[in-house]
Amino acid sequence: MLEFIPLLRQRYQVVLNRREKAADRVLFQQRIDQLTLAEAFVRKGQTLGRVDGLPLQMAVIGPTQVGKSSVVNVLMGCQAAGVSPLAGYTVHPQGFCHDLPVSACAGLQRYFGGFRCIPQQELDKSRYDCYSLAPALENSGLLPACVLWDTPDFDSIDSRTYREGVIRTLALADAIILVVSKEKYADQSVWEMMSVLESLNQPTLICLNKLVEGSEQVLLPSLQDKWQKARQDPFPEVVCLHYQKLAGVPIWPDDAKSFPSRLAQRSDRKKHAQFEQQLLQKHWQQWLQPILEEHQAFADWEALVDNAINQALGHYQRDFLNHPQHYETFQQALAELLTLLEIPGLAGFLTGVRKALTWPVRQMMKLGQKRLHITDSSREVALLNQIAEHALIRLNETLLDNNGQGPPSDWWQELAGVLRNQKVALLQNFSLAARAYHLDFQHEVEQTAHSLYLKLQEQPLVLNSLRATRVTADAAVIALTLHTGGIGVHDLVIAPAMLTLTSLLAESAIGGYVHKIEAQLKQRQLDTVKQILFMGGIRAQLLALPGQLSALAHFNISIAQLNSVEQQLKEKRHGLRLL
Which spans of this chain sit near Mg ion (rule: CB under 5 A)? Answer: 68-69, 90
Contacted by 332, from ligand GDP, Mg ion, none: CB < 5 to 8 Å by type: none
Smallest separation, CB 171 to Mg ion (Å): 20
Smallest separation, CB 95 to ligand GDP (Å): 15
Nearest C-alpha neighbor of 90 from the set 112, 68, 119: 68
Smallest separation, CB 243 to ligand GDP (Å): 5
Strand partners, 208: 180, 240
Handedness of CA 559, 422, 376, 390 (dihedral sign): positive
CA distance 35 to 32: 5
Q: Pick the closer one to ligand GDP by CB: 65 or 377.
A: 65
Contacted by 523, from ligand GDP, Mg ion, none: CB < 5 to 8 Å by type: none
Tell me the C-alpha to C-alpha distance, in Å, between residue 365 and each of 142, 338, 411, 446, 502.
104, 12, 54, 12, 22
Rg, Å, the chain Cα set: 40
Contacted by 140, from Mg ion, ligand GDP, none: CB < 5 to 8 Å by type: none
Q: At what angle do helices 272-316 and 4-18 cross, to 10 degrees?
A: 60
Smallest separation, CB 70 to ligand GDP (Å): 3
Q: Pick the closer one to ligand GDP by CB: 35 or 91.
A: 91
Contacted by 378, from Mg ion, ligand GDP, none: CB < 5 to 8 Å by type: none
Q: Pick the closer one to ligand GDP by CB: 153 or 336.
A: 153
Contacted by 210, from ligand GDP, Mg ion, none: CB < 5 to 8 Å by type: ligand GDP
- H/E stretch holding 522 reads helix 511-528
Smallest separation, CB 238 to ligand GDP (Å): 16
CA distance 251 to 240: 10
Q: Pick the closer one to Mg ion by CB: 150 or 328.
A: 150
3-state secondary structure (DSSP) of residue 177: strand
Q: Which residues bind ligand GDP (CB under 6 A)?
A: 62, 64-70, 83-85, 89-90, 153, 209-210, 243-245, 248-250
Say if CB 236 and CB 206 are below 8 A apart: yes
Q: Pick the closer one to ligand GDP by CB: 247 or 356.
A: 247
Say if CB 63 and CB 187 are below 8 A apart: yes
Contacted by 31, from Mg ion, ligand GDP, none: CB < 5 to 8 Å by type: none
Smallest separation, CB 72 to ligand GDP (Å): 8
Amino acid present at 548: Q
Q: Pick the closer one to ligand GDP by CB: 243 or 349.
A: 243
Q: At what angle do helices 188-197 and 216-230 cross, to 10 degrees?
A: 50
Q: Pick the closer one to ligand GDP by CB: 69 or 378.
A: 69
CA distance 156 to 463: 98
- H/E stretch holding 178 reads strand 175-181
Contacted by 244, from Mg ion, ligand GDP, none: CB < 5 to 8 Å by type: ligand GDP
Smallest separation, CB 40 to ligand GDP (Å): 22
Q: Pick the closer one to ligand GDP by CB: 56 or 66.
A: 66
Smallest separation, CB 180 to ligand GDP (Å): 10
Residue 176: which residues within 8 A CB-CB, separation 6 or more?
A: 58, 59, 61, 170, 197, 202, 203, 204, 205
Contacted by 64, from Mg ion, ligand GDP, none: CB < 5 to 8 Å by type: ligand GDP
Contacted by 245, from ligand GDP, Mg ion, none: CB < 5 to 8 Å by type: ligand GDP
Residue 97 backbone class (left: φ over 0; alpha: ψ -120 to 50; beta: rest): beta
Q: Pick the closer one to ligand GDP by CB: 199 or 209.
A: 209
